[in-house]
Amino acid sequence: FSQRQEVLMAFKQVQLLVTSQDVENYKQIKSDLDQLRSIVEKSELWVYKRQGEDGMDGDGPSESDN
């Protein structure tokens, strides 16, 4: 990509927050997304931990070995 194309693509993603309600909505959405990201990361860790406890951590035979 050229710099010009990159700038044009960045401009397409710009959203103007012109009212205080727009700003508040943006802040709330950003906060919710941060919280969701954290929850997803934790749940992934729980899945990996659970798989390790069940002996599915790669050390034993897998279902495809049967």
| Length in residues, the chain | 66
pLDDT single digits (tens) 18-37: 899 999 999 999 999 999 99
Q: Is residue 23 within 8 Å of residue 17, measured between CB atoms?
A: yes
| pTM (two decimals) | 0.51
For 41, the 3-state DSSP assignment is helix
Q: Pull the structure tokens for residue 18.
A: 């012109």
Q: What was the pLDDT predicted at 16? A: 84
CA dihedral 50, 53, 56, 59 (to 10 degrees): 140
Say how far apart CA 63 and CA 12 lie, in whole Å: 47
